[in-house]
């Protein structure tokens, strides 16, 4: 049987990247604050991610959840990240566990560790090997309140895995852009994630065996300070794109 997947925040860039390559691979239930359009590849539920009743309806009967919804602004204020990102993530995790969902892929962010990224704390991004890079084992070090909310989501995932046994993978998404990486932004090139690598990564989140896991969502960039090894080892992620190819 085809896996049925709830995708929250389906209209955003990450959601569109996922659906662009995987629309026919799963039975989708799409959740967003606004309707994603008549060509949406699946059942659509319009609602607020903090509404426990509508979220309970959305998770009923699905096999897995990809949770993307929230305020995506890196300069978002406290009231918004508290309500939309922290409370909303709690509502989704809690409803999913109550509905017997077996796995959740949570869209975390590079901003959960953004304060590591200074000249003093980050080694040379041009090193070819993956050693001594941030790999998900480090403690969160958010550089803004948006990052605080994503770090909190990772901790909620840890709690719900430990207490209820749901498999949780937190993907610290880098700089997702369609087509090519930013040409004049070195940090953006180091953490670039192409649309097709994004779709492949979340496909592996739905297919691989894991318990609780934090991985970085970037392409196979020569210049990087995030490690790809956990995603490769535990998810079978094989990114195909490299920001250096666009130099």
Given a contact cutoff of 8 angstroms between Cβ atoms, the answer to whether 110 and 138 are in contact is: no
The one-character DSSP state at 87 is: I
For residue 178, give both structure tokens: 């369609």
DSSP 193-227: E-HHHHHHHHHHHHHS--SEEEEEE----SS-SB-
Q: Is 5 helix (H, G, I), strand (E, B) or coil?
A: strand
Catalytic residue among 146, 160, 195, 237: 146
146 tagged catalytic: yes
Residue with tokens 């953490």: 191
For residue 108, give both structure tokens: 């975390």
For residue 34, give both structure tokens: 């606004």
223 φ/ψ angles, rounded to the nearest 5 degrees: -95, 110
Instruction: Give the residue numbers annotated as catalytic, written as ranges.
Output: 146
């Amino acid at each position: 049987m085809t896996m049925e997947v709830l995708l929250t925040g389906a209209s955003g860039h990450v959601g569109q990247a996922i659906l662009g390559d995987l629309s026919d691979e799963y039975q989708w239930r799409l959740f967003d604050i606004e309707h994603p359009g008549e060509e949406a590849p699946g059942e659509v539920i319009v609602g607020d991610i903090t509404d426990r009743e509508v979220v309970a309806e959305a998770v009923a009967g699905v096999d897995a959840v990809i949770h993307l919804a929230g305020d995506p602004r890196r300069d978002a204020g406290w009231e918004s990240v508290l309500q939309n990102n922290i409370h909303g993530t709690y509502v989704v995790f809690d409803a999913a566990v109550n509905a017997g969902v077996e796995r959740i892929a949570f869209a975390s962010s590079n901003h959960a560790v953004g304060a590591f990224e200074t000249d003093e704390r980050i080694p040379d991004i041009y090193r070819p090997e993956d050693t001594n890079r941030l790999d998900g084992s480090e403690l969160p070090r958010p550089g803004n309140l948006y990052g605080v909310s994503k770090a909190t989501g990772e901790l909620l995932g840890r709690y719900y895995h430990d207490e209820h046994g749901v498999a949780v993978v937190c993907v610290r998404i880098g700089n997702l852009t369609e087509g090519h990486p930013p040409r004049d932004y070195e940090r953006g090139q180091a953490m670039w994630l192409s649309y097709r690598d994004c779709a492949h990564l979340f496909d592996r989140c739905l297919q691989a065996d894991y318990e609780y896991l934090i991985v970085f969502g970037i392409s196979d960039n020569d210049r990087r300070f995030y490690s790809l090894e956990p995603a490769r080892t535990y998810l079978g992620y094989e990114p195909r794109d490299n920001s250096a190819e666009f130099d």
